[in-house]
C-alpha cells in the first residue's frame, strides 16, 4: 500500500483520541465515519486544521471527517495503524498466530455466522413449534397455516447466502452490497429454473454445473473471499473518476462467473463423489453408511453436500419401502448436536450464551441444527467434537443393528414415529442408538467443558469464590475503593456535561491531593488513552470504571502524565496505574478534577456514593448493589 496517506492517517487517529476512543469506523465515498466512545475529548476545530481534511461534521451520532475521493486509502491506512481489526476479527486470529489453517477456517465460518444466529435461532424455534403442533395433531401438513408459517421459518435458511455475504464482506473488508449482489446471483429464480430443468448450460462457452444454493454456507463464503481480492485489485488500478461504475461491474462479472462455474459447484462435485462412496459402502455393508452419516452429518450440512444423498435416499425408499442412508444417521447427529448445546447451556455462566445454547438445543432436538451448530457448537469446537463422537457411537450401533425408517420426514424427536412399522425392532434399536448418543455426547461435553469453559465453575466452586471474596462484597454488591487521595464531591461540580449529567454513568469527582491514580479493585485495564489522561478498569466481578484525570487534558498529548500499565494488564487493588503533575497541569490552564464513574451503571440496582469528604486510598468510595 502507498505510504502517501500515512501521516494524514496518523494525525487523524491521534486527534480523535486514538484507537481506544473508537467504537466503530466506516467510510462512504468522501468521508470517514467514526462512532466515538467519547466525542468530548476530540477538538473538532483542531481536526479541521489537519492538512488533508476538508471538513468535520457531527451528525446522527457520527463524527464524520471529510477527506475526498481518496477516502478509502486513508481508511485502510487508519485500519492498519489501529488495532481495531486485531480486536474485532476473531475469525482469523484470537491472538494466536500459531493457529492451524483448520482452526482459522472454523473460526472464520463461526464468526461470520455469529451475527446471523439470532435470526436462525428464531426461525429454528418456529420450526420446533410447528413440529410440536404436528406431533400432537393440532395441525396437518396440508393446512394453509402449516404451509405459510413453515415458509416464514424457511426464509432465513433459504436466503442464508445473503446474510453470510454481508457478514463475510464486512469481515474481509469488501463491499457488503456487492457481496449480496453475488448472493442474489446464486439464489435468482432463473438459476433455480435452470436447475429444475436440468438442461446443459454454459457461460462464455464454459460449462456450468447446476447447483441449488439455498441454505448453503461454503459456496458464498468462497465467492466473497475471491471478491475481496478482486475488488481490492480493481480499486488500485481503476482511476477514481470511473471507479464507482467499473469496480462493481467487473467484480460481479468476473467473480460471478468463477463462482457459478468453479467455486459454487465444488460442493456439488464433492457431494457426487460422497454419494458414490456411500453407494459403494452400502453394497458391502449398510452399517458403514449409517455410521458415516451419523458422524459427519454436521460437516455435510455445512458444505451443503448433504443434498447429494437425497436422490439415493429417495430411490432406496421408493424401491424397497425402507430407508437408512440418511434417516438414522441424521436423527442421531441432530439429537447429539442438541444435547451438546444443552450441556453448554448448563455449564456456562454467561447469561447471553446460556440463553442461546438452551434455545438452540431445543431446536436441534426438533431436527433444526443450524442454530446450535453455528451459534454454539462450531464456535466452541469442543461441543461439536463431543457430538460427533457421540453420534459415531450411536451410529455404529444403529448400523450394526440394521435400523431402517419407513417414511421420510424431519430428523429430530418428531421423526421417531417414522421407525414404527412391521418390524418393531427398528423403533427399539433407534431408541437405543439415541440413548447411547445422548449419554456419550453429554458425558464428553461435560468433561471437556471443565477445560474449555475457563470461567465456568460448578455451584460449589462459585460458592467458594464468593466466600473468598466476601470482604469485597457488601449487601449483595461490590465495593470500589478510592483510586485517588483527595476530596470527594458530586459529579455535578464537573464542568463537562457528559460527566455532570451522569450520561457516562453514576459516580463521584475527586479533587486530588497528589498526582497518583491506583487501582480501585482487583481487575484488568480495559482502556488506556494514548494521552494517558483517562483509564478504564474492569473488576473481576464485572464493574466497569472510567477514571478521567482533569478536563480537556487530552490537549496535553500525554505531557505531565506517566502510565505504569497498559491495556489488558491484570492489576491488584492499590496498584499504581498513572501519575500526573497537578501543578504543571493547573499552570497550563486545565482543571485537575478527576471524575470516577461506573460506566455500566445499568447493571446495578443502586449505587451508594460517599460525598463531600476527604478520602484516602484505602477508603470505600462507593458500593454498587446488584
Spatial distance between the Cα atoms of 363 and 125, rounded to a whole number of angstroms: 6
Rounded to 5 degrees, φ, ψ at 258 are -65, -40
Kindly write down the DSSP assignment for every residue of 475-538, as one continuous string: TTEEEEE-SS-EEEE-GGGSS-HHHHTTSS-EEEEEEESSSEEE-SSSEEEEEE-TTSSEEEEE
End-to-end CA distance of the chain: 50
- 28 catalytic residue (yes or no): yes
**8 A C-beta contact, residue 528 and residue 535:** yes
Q: Where are the beta strands (DSSP E) in 363-412?
A: none
Q: Which of 447, 455, 551 is nearest to 494 (CA)?
A: 551
Rounded to 5 degrees, φ, ψ at 595 are -70, 135
Residue bearing cell 436440468: 198
Q: Which of 272, 256, 263 is nearest to 203 (CA)?
A: 256
Sequence-separated (6 or more) residues with CB below 8 Å from residue 205: none
**8 A C-beta contact, residue 595 and residue 552:** no
Query: 373: how many CB neighbours lie within 10 A of its CB?
Result: 30
- Nine-digit cell string for 131: 413440529
Query: 512: how many CB neighbours lie within 10 A of its CB?
Result: 20
- Of 28, 138, 206, 447, the active-site residue reads 28
**8 A C-beta contact, residue 560 and residue 580:** yes
Q: Which H or E element spans position 613?
A: strand 613-615
Q: How many CA atoms lie within 13 A of 64 on its CB side?
A: 14
473-474 and 206-207 as β-strands: parallel, antiparallel, unpaired? unpaired
**8 A C-beta contact, residue 469 and residue 510:** no
- Nine-digit cell string for 420: 414404527
Q: Which H or E element spans position 577?
A: strand 576-580
Q: List residues with catalytic annotation.
A: 28
Amino acid at each position: 500500500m502507498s505510504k502517501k496517506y500515512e501521516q494524514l492517517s496518523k494525525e487523524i487517529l491521534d486527534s480523535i483520541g486514538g484507537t481506544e476512543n473508537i467504537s466503530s469506523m466506516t467510510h462512504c465515498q468522501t468521508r470517514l465515519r467514526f462512532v466515538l466512545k467519547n466525542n468530548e475529548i476530540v477538538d473538532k476545530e483542531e481536526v479541521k486544521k489537519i492538512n488533508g481534511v476538508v471538513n468535520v461534521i457531527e451528525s446522527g451520532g457520527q463524527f464524520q471527517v471529510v477527506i475526498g475521493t481518496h477516502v478509502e486509502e486513508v481508511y485502510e491506512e487508519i485500519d492498519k495503524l489501529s488495532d481495531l481489526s486485531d480486536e474485532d476479527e476473531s475469525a482469523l486470529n484470537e491472538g494466536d498466530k500459531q493457529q492451524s489453517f483448520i482452526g482459522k477456517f472454523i473460526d472464520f465460518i463461526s464468526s461470520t455466522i455469529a451475527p446471523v444466529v439470532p435470526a436462525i435461532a428464531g426461525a429454528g424455534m418456529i420450526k420446533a413449534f410447528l413440529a410440536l403442533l404436528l406431533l400432537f395433531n393440532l395441525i396437518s401438513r396440508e393446512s394453509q397455516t402449516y404451509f405459510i408459517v413453515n415458509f416464514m421459518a424457511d426464509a432465513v435458511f433459504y436466503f442464508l447466502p445473503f446474510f453470510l455475504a454481508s457478514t463475510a464482506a464486512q469481515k474481509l473488508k469488501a463491499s457488503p452490497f456487492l457481496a449480496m449482489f453475488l448472493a442474489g446471483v446464486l439464489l435468482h429464480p432463473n438459476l433455480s429454473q435452470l436447475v429444475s430443468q436440468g438442461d446443459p448450460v454454459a457461460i462464455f462457452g464454459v460449462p456450468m454445473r447446476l447447483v441449488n444454493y439455498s441454505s448453503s454456507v461454503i459456496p458464498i463464503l468462497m465467492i466473497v473471499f475471491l471478491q475481496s481480492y478482486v475488488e481490492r485489485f480493481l480499486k488500485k488500478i481503476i482511476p477514481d473518476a470511473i471507479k464507482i461504475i467499473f469496480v462493481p461491474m467487473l467484480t460481479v462479472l468476473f467473480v460471478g462467473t468463477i463462482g457459478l462455474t468453479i467455486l459454487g459447484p465444488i460442493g456439488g462435485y464433492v457431494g457426487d463423489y460422497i454419494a458414490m462412496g456411500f453407494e459403494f459402502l452400502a453394497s458391502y455393508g449398510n452399517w458403514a453408511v449409517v455410521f458415516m452419516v451419523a458422524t459427519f452429518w454436521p460437516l455435510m450440512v455445512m458444505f451443503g453436500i448433504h443434498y447429494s444423498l437425497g436422490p439415493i435416499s429417495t430411490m432406496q425408499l421408493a424401491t424397497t419401502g425402507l430407508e437408512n442412508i440418511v434417516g438414522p444417521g441424521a436423527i442421531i447427529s441432530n439429537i447429539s448436536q442438541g444435547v451438546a448445546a444443552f450441556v453448554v447451556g448448563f455449564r456456562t455462566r454467561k447469561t447471553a450464551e446460556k440463553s442461546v445454547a438452551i434455545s438452540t438445543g431445543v431446536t436441534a432436538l426438533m431436527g433444526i441444527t443450524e442454530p446450535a451448530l453455528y451459534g454454539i457448537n462450531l464456535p466452541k469446537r469442543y461441543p461439536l467434537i463431543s457430538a460427533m463422537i457421540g453420534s459415531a457411537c450411536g451410529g455404529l450401533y444403529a448400523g450394526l443393528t440394521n435400523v431402517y425408517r419407513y417414511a421420510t420426514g424431519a430428523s429430530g424427536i418428531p421423526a421417531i414415529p417414522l421407525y414404527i412399522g412391521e418390524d418393531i425392532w427398528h423403533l427399539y434399536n433407534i431408541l437405543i442408538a439415541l440413548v447411547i448418543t445422548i449419554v456419550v455426547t453429554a458425558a464428553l461435553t461435560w468433561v471437556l467443558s471443565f477445560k474449555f469453559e475457563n470461567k465456568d465453575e460448578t455451584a460449589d466452586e462459585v460458592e467458594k469464590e464468593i466466600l473468598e471474596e466476601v470482604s469485597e462484597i457488601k449487601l449483595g454488591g461490590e465495593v470500589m475503593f478510592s483510586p485517588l487521595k483527595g476530596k470527594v464531591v458530586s459529579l455535578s461540580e464537573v464542568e463537562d456535561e457528559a460527566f455532570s449529567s451522569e450520561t457516562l454513568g453514576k459516580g463521584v469527582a475527586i479533587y486530588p491531593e497528589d498526582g497518583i491514580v491506583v487501582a480501585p479493585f482487583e481487575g484488568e485495564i480495559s482502556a488506556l488513552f494514548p494521552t494517558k489522561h483517562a483509564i478504564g478498569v474492569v473488576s473481576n466481578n464485572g464493574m466497569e470504571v472510567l477514571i478521567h484525570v482533569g478536563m480537556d487534558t487530552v490537549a496535553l498529548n500525554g505531557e505531565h502524565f506517566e502510565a505504569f500499565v497498559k491495556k489488558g494488564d491484570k492489576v491488584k487493588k492499590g496498584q499504581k496505574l498513572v501519575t500526573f503533575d497537578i501543578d504543571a497541569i493547573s499552570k497550563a490552564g486545565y482543571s485537575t478534577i478527576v471524575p470516577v464513574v461506573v460506566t455500566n451503571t445499568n447493571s446495578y440496582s443502586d449505587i451508594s456514593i460517599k460525598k463531600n469528604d476527604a478520602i484516602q486510598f484505602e477508603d470505600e468510595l462507593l458500593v454498587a448493589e446488584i
